[in-house]
């Protein structure tokens, strides 16, 4: 069956009333008539669901029986394929820019390089706590395509000036501005994905997005190393000396190019125009009273909707536990396993490959998997794998356990986003995803700060109470503080699974009760 492209002139009727019933979506029409044999009938039905006319205007060139290209079969639509390319290129640039900014902070900080790096990283984290919720309101109100284009151009302009920044204050301000643009771009992208792919392919779409975000890191690291050699050759050209073409500056310029590429690609995407928003999509006047009401409406929905609450609790709380592995992994590798930095490198590699494997598996089996059950089960097994890995003194067992942890982390992320995209209506998606990003940032920050403190406190308690080890039969189990802290992390992840399961089951019971009490569920002819 030929795949339809979204029509940019189509105004998708979206109600701002949470209780309103939306018009049938093309995805639902596709599901309803998917068994039809005549491609022309399918096309007509899809266009009828969209309120459009002649199918030949939006079908791919060729007859209706032509098989779509491989990229459409894999990515769902040509538009999402192009958005995915944007994510790949932008993520590569982000990792390059991140490395370059770290170098710049260390250079500006002079003798206090570590403190300068911490301050710059804080400037990238803190805005999310204050601006993140408001960003979601704005993304839901403004045209998302325009938001992404403006944010990409804005980030390109900021990055282009960093090579000439010579003060820590200037770098902090630039980092703050970059983060504000990112806080608008990310929820706009996440909220747009369900409008580009059929519902049954959301799992694959989110798996591909996960790969684009984190799978590009090793390639960016390799490119960053190669830029060192390129910079040596370019720096010998006197005409280019004004551009300061060292390794750091080259990485920043490449990052600028990726943002401009992203802006051009997104600008040419055919995205549906949402109700009440023109194709030009200007932000218009900001009504602060309405903004506060929409912000309150979004948080009200997040707390009352059982599925949304389950995903937020599962992802955010689980990250408090999983995030502790970042600062404590190197300590565990050194103090417990005796493997040092090499062991920690194996941990991060195993975790990355595990996440990729988990995302691929869940994408391949998406049609057979009950998403809510997979989400909670994966949380439980993530906690179990972390507990097993930190209970051993064998590097091999620990690496295998971390790999399995990654295999279960992948479905948690992918399925969590799919549940939100399926559950949340279009007019609320920006607020929901922005709030999730804020919670994730907060929980990761808590984990990064609390992990080392807990390890130190548990270490003192272990030495005081049991001398740092316990005897179980003929086996001596060492109880250093880092192991106890990581056991607590595993327990937090498992608790997140129970909380998510409780919220999902409460929602299922409430839904069943409503359906049972509906008049259509009763036999009205009975006495």
* pLDDT one-digit tens code per residue, 379-407: 999 999 999 999 998 999 999 999 999 89
Closest CA to 26 of 43, 2, 46: 46
Reply yes or no on whether the pLDDT at 420 is more than 80: yes
CA–CA gap between residue 288 and residue 192 (Å, rounded): 25
With cut-offs at 50, 70 and 90, classify the pLDDT of residue 272. low
What pLDDT does residue 36 have?
39
Place of tokens 């990581």: 486
Residue 181 CB contacts under 8 Å (≥ 6 apart), including other chains: 151, 152, 154, 155, 158
Distances (CA, A) of 527 to 515, 519, 524: 21, 15, 8
Mean pLDDT calculated for residue range 450-463: 89
Are the C-beta atoms of 395 and 337 separated by less than 8 Å?
Answer: yes
Residue 110 CB contacts under 8 Å (≥ 6 apart), including other chains: none
CA–CA gap between residue 85 and residue 329 (Å, rounded): 33
Mean pLDDT calculated for residue range 495-516: 83
Reply yes or no on whether the pLDDT at 28 is more than 50: no
Are the C-beta atoms of 496 and 380 separated by less than 8 Å?
Answer: no
Reply yes or no on whether the pLDDT at 427 is more than 90: no
Mean pLDDT calculated for residue range 2-7: 42
DSSP-derived secondary structure letter, 61: S
* pLDDT above 90: percentage of residues in the chain: 14
**What are the helix (H) ranges across 20-77?**
26-33, 39-50, 70-75
Q: Which of 49-63, 129-143, 457-471, 505-519 has the lowest mean pLDDT?
A: 49-63
Reply yes or no on whether the pLDDT at 186 is more than 50: yes
With cut-offs at 50, 70 and 90, classify the pLDDT of residue 23. very low
pLDDT in tens, 79-90: 888 888 888 898
Reply yes or no on whether the pLDDT at 471 is more than 70: yes
Closest CA to 185 of 293, 263, 82: 263
CB atoms within 10 A of CB 13: 12
pLDDT in tens, 214-224: 777 778 878 88
E strand or H helix at 218: helix 217-234
Higher pLDDT, 153 or 194: 153
The torsion angles phi and psi of 338, rounded to 5 degrees, stand at 65, 25
With cut-offs at 50, 70 and 90, classify the pLDDT of residue 294. low
Give, in degrees to the nearest 5, the angle at Cα 332 between 330 and 336. 135
E strand or H helix at 472: strand 469-472
Mean pLDDT calculated for residue range 494-507: 88
What structural domains and CATH numbers belong to the chain? 11-68 (no CATH), 71-275 (1.20.1250.20), 286-515 (1.20.1250.20)
CA–CA gap between residue 378 and residue 366 (Å, rounded): 14
Going by their DSSP bridges, the two strands 11-12 and 469-472 should be labelled as unpaired
CB atoms within 10 A of CB 417: 24
Residue 470, helix vs strand vs coil: strand
Reply yes or no on whether the pLDDT at 139 is more than 50: yes
Query: How many residues in the chain?
Result: 527
Closest CA to 46 of 26, 68, 67: 26
What pLDDT does residue 62 have?
44
Place of tokens 């105004």: 11
With cut-offs at 50, 70 and 90, classify the pLDDT of residue 107. confident
Higher pLDDT, 287 or 440: 440
Reply yes or no on whether the pLDDT at 150 is more than 70: yes
With cut-offs at 50, 70 and 90, classify the pLDDT of residue 142. confident
E strand or H helix at 216: none
What pLDDT does residue 518 have?
53
Reply yes or no on whether the pLDDT at 20 is more than 50: no
pLDDT in tens, 337-394: 888 878 888 888 888 888 888 888 888 887 788 888 999 999 999 999 999 999 998 9
Reply yes or no on whether the pLDDT at 2 is more than 70: no
Phi-psi region for residue 328, left (φ > 0), alpha (ψ -120 to 50) or beta?
alpha
- The 3-state secondary structure of 247-258 reads HHHHHHHHHHHH
Reply yes or no on whether the pLDDT at 9 is more than 50: no
**What are the helix (H) ranges across 51-112?**
70-75, 78-109
What pLDDT does residue 112 have?
52
Residue 125 CB contacts under 8 Å (≥ 6 apart), including other chains: 179, 441, 445
Reply yes or no on whether the pLDDT at 151 is more than 70: yes
Reply yes or no on whether the pLDDT at 154 is more than 90: yes
Place of tokens 């079969």: 73
Closest CA to 132 of 432, 446, 417: 432
**476 DSSP β-pair partners:** 471
CB atoms within 10 A of CB 412: 30
CA 254 to chain centre: 23
The per-residue pLDDT of the chain, averaged, comes to 76
With cut-offs at 50, 70 and 90, classify the pLDDT of residue 300. confident
CA 111 to chain centre: 36
CA–CA gap between residue 277 and residue 225 (Å, rounded): 45
Higher pLDDT, 263 or 15: 263
What pLDDT does residue 7 have?
44
CA–CA gap between residue 78 and residue 61 (Å, rounded): 13
With cut-offs at 50, 70 and 90, classify the pLDDT of residue 24. very low
Reply yes or no on whether the pLDDT at 525 is more than 60: no
Mean pLDDT calculated for residue range 272-292: 54
**477 DSSP β-pair partners:** 470
Higher pLDDT, 210 or 15: 210
CA–CA gap between residue 203 and residue 37 (Å, rounded): 26
With cut-offs at 50, 70 and 90, classify the pLDDT of residue 433. confident
Mean pLDDT calculated for residue range 103-130: 71
């Amino acid at each position: 069956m030929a795949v339809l492209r979204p029509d940019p002139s189509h105004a998708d009727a979206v109600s701002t009333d949470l209780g309103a019933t939306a018009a049938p979506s093309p995805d639902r029409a596709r599901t309803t008539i998917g068994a039809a044999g005549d491609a022309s009938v399918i096309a007509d039905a899809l266009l009828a669901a969209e309120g459009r006319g002649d199918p030949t205007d939006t079908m791919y060139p060729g007859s209706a029986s032509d098989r779509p290209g491989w990229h459409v079969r894999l990515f769902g639509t040509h538009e999402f394929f192009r958005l995915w390319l944007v994510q790949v290129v932008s993520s590569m640039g982000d990792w390059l820019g991140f490395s370059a900014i770290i170098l710049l902070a260390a250079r500006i900080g002079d003798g206090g390089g570590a403190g300068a790096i911490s301050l710059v990283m804080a400037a990238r984290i803190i805005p999310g706590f204050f601006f993140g919720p408001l960003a979601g309101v704005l993304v839901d109100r403004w045209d998302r395509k325009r938001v992404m284009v403006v944010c990409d151009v804005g980030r390109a302009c900021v990055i282009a000036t960093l090579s000439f920044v010579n003060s820590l204050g200037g770098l902090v301000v630039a980092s703050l501005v970059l983060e504000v643009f990112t806080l608008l771009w990310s929820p706009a992208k996440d909220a747009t994905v369900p409008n580009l792919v059929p519902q049954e392919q959301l799992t694959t779409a989110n798996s591909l997005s996960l790969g684009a975000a984190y799978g590009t890191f090793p390639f960016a690291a390799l490119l960053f190393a190669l830029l060192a050699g390129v910079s040596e050759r370019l720096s010998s050209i006197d005409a280019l000396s004004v551009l300061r073409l060292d390794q750091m500056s080259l990485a920043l310029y490449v990052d600028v190019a990726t943002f401009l590429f992203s802006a051009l690609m997104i600008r040419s995407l055919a995205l549906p125009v949402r109700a009440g928003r023109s194709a030009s999509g200007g932000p218009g006047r900001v009504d602060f009273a309405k903004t506060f009401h929409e912000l309150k409406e979004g948080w009200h929905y997040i707390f009352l909707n059982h599925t949304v609450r389950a995903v937020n609790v599962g992802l955010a709380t689980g990250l408090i536990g999983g995030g502790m592995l970042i600062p404590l992994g190197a300590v565990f590798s050194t103090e417990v396993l005796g493997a040092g930095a090499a062991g920690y490198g194996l941990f991060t590699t195993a975790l990355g490959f595990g996440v990729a494997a988990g995302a691929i598996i869940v994408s391949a089996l998406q049609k057979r998997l009950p998403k809510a059950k997979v989400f909670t089960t994966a949380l439980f097994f993530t906690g179990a794998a972390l507990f097993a890995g930190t209970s051993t003194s064998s590097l091999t067992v620990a690496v295998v356990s971390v790999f399995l942890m990654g295999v279960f982390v992948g479905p948690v992320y992918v399925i969590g986003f799919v549940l939100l995209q399926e559950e949340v209506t279009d007019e609320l998606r920006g607020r929901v995803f922005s709030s999730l990003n804020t919670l994730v940032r907060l929980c990761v920050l808590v984990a990064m700060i609390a992990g080392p403190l807990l390890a130190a406190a548990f270490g003192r308690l272990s030495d005081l109470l049991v001398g740092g080890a316990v005897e179980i039969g003929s086996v001596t189990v060492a109880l250093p503080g880092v192991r106890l802290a990581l056991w607590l992390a595993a327990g937090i992840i498992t608790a997140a699974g129970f909380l998510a399961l409780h919220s999902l089951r409460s929602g299922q019971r409430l839904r069943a009760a409503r359906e049972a009490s509906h008049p259509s569920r009763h036999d009205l002819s009975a006495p």
